[in-house]
Amino acid sequence: MVANRYEHFVSGKYIPPVSGDYFTSIDPSTGQAIAEVARGDAADVDQAVGAARRSLSSWRKLEPSERGRILHRVATRLLKEADDLARTESIDTGFPLRDCLLVTKDVAARYFEYYSGLADKLGGETIPVPGNHLDYTLREPLGVVAQIIPWNSPLYDGSRAIAPALAAGNTIVLKPAEEAMLTMLRLAEIMVEEGLPEGVFNVVTGYGPEAGAALASHPDINGISFTGSVETGTHVMKLAAEHVVPVTLELGGKSANIVFPDADIDMAVMWAMFAIFTASGQICTAGSRLLLDRQVHDEFLEKLVVRTKQLRVGPGLENPDLGPLISQPQLERVLNYIEIGKAEGAAVATGGERLTEGSLQRGYFVAPTIFDGVKNQMCIAQEEIFGPVLSVLTFEDKDEALEIANGTQYGLAAAVWTRNLKTAHYMAKHLEVGSVYINRYYGSGVEAPSGGYKRSGFGRVDGIEVLRHYTQIKNVVINLD
């Protein structure tokens, strides 16, 4: 029997699943059970949506400045409880403890702080129209919003969804991934303790086909935000279409990290490691394709391999450079892609195997892996692996680099390394992605919008832009004659 048991969080309190069923949450560092969690289904989702619907009127009528004060108190509380939250997230996901602490302090708390300041600044506009009329717009909340988040850093993905939705006056039912959900339940407690009215934020745990599908297809939902795989996102969109519900999707990626010969090679090597091996490659914007100009290929790869071999892999609480993959199925998926890469003729420059020595034997650990000699038509260059596996490709000039970078179904992010401002602007203009990083990797903070092109999704998260997706515009015209 697992000592810890977690239930759904609905109407400001924990409630048991209607079915009475629970499932086991696993620590990916050890393969051992850490908790029993409520296994939600349509009945539980219906309870949570009902609670969100009942609280909607009072929440949207609350002065926006007061909504902002509540969110700011949550931000302050997250900073105070950062150590405990980071430890829980590290156990739940296997991510290094210091990374989880960084996310809690600098990202999750910052989301609530940032959107607390925007809560009372969501105005409409006055529109000049013909005749003696006054025409203006009102920006109003969607209503009850469904949020389905992934398992890679729930505090990050949860906070970036929750804070703007609440700032805009919506109420929420959130379904975390079944692999990692414990920090979302604790966050729900914290928000109520800091003054969020009961029912404004609700959490239903469970499996995607049971709880997630029920939430996406619920007739009383007014908007959906989903982050995850293309396959699941497509299914969510189909379910939403039954009730004509707007959807924001942030889906998969196969992002290119492009290095030109005039780049700062040592800096680019450091960021290339960060781009693919952070969170063991389990990030949708991970720089999983490294495009090297032929002139710098040998030097760059040699330095990258040397530094990669120095990385330490271990349980998240031990603060390694890389933790485990999230689950046994994900482990098998990544190992299968490694075998595919070998079969396709790519050369393993380092890694390429599961790690089982000592304390790693029960967890889901894979050595940081680099494939050289990759062709863009290869499976490992086209499909999202979601693990610590880097594909190295070469190019002759910027146009070939663009052809390779844009030659996938994805369009989430890309990076460019060059000292030439003209080259940087040219690449930024022609890359078919939602975010372009120049001489760095990953974005600059919560203030800047991000999202995908092509099959990487649509809509934007972060910054002011996301508030447009959590609100709807009403036009008002007054005859002044």
CATH code of the domain in which 174 resides: 3.40.605.10
Mean pLDDT over the full length of the chain:
96
163 close to 112: Cβ distance less than 8 angstroms? yes
Q: Which residues pair with 5 in a beta bridge?
A: 36
Same domain assignment for residues 424 and 464? no
Q: Is residue 11 part of a domain?
A: yes
Per residue in 136-189, pLDDT (tens digit) is: 999 999 999 999 999 998 999 999 999 999 999 999 999 999 999 999 999 999
15 close to 8: Cβ distance less than 8 angstroms? yes
Per residue in 296-317, pLDDT (tens digit) is: 999 999 999 999 999 999 999 9
Q: Is residue 481 part of a domain?
A: no
Q: Is residue 202 part of a domain?
A: yes
CATH code of the domain in which 351 resides: 3.40.309.10
Q: Is residue 192 part of a domain?
A: yes
Tokens linked to 141: 């909340």
Q: Is the pLDDT of residue 3 over 80?
A: no
Same domain assignment for residues 157 and 304? no
pLDDT of residue 480: 96
Q: Is residue 233 part of a domain?
A: yes
- Cβ of 329: how many Cβ atoms within 10 Å? 11
Going by pLDDT thresholds of 50, 70 and 90, the confidence category of residue 443 is: confident
Same domain assignment for residues 223 and 278? no
What residues are annotated to the active site?
250, 284
Same domain assignment for residues 171 and 268? no
Same domain assignment for residues 247 and 265? no
Same domain assignment for residues 467 and 439? no
Going by pLDDT thresholds of 50, 70 and 90, the confidence category of residue 288 is: very high
Same domain assignment for residues 161 and 270? no
Per residue in 58-115, pLDDT (tens digit) is: 999 999 999 999 999 999 999 999 999 999 999 999 999 999 999 999 999 999 999 9
Of 47-61, 242-256, 434-448, the range with the lowest mean pLDDT is 434-448
Residue 372 domain boundaries: 256-446
Same domain assignment for residues 40 and 88? yes
Element (H, E) at 440: none
Per residue in 328-351, pLDDT (tens digit) is: 999 999 999 999 999 999 999 999
30 close to 363: Cβ distance less than 8 angstroms? yes
Same domain assignment for residues 413 and 465? no
Residue carrying structure tokens 């007061």: 66
Q: How many domains does the chain fold into?
A: 2
State the pairing for strand pair 347-350/457-458: unpaired
Q: Is residue 452 part of a domain?
A: no
Same domain assignment for residues 172 and 225? yes
Per residue in 230-267, pLDDT (tens digit) is: 999 999 999 999 999 999 999 999 999 999 999 999 99
Same domain assignment for residues 293 and 157? no
Alpha carbons 125 and 27: distance in angstroms, whole number? 50
Alpha carbons 191 and 283: distance in angstroms, whole number? 27
Going by pLDDT thresholds of 50, 70 and 90, the confidence category of residue 359 is: confident
Same domain assignment for residues 120 and 201? yes
How much is the pTM? 0.95
- If phi > 0 it is left, if psi is from -120 to 50 it is alpha, else beta; for residue 22 that is beta
Q: Is the pLDDT of residue 57 over 90?
A: yes
Q: Is residue 313 part of a domain?
A: yes
Alpha carbons 393 and 371: distance in angstroms, whole number? 9
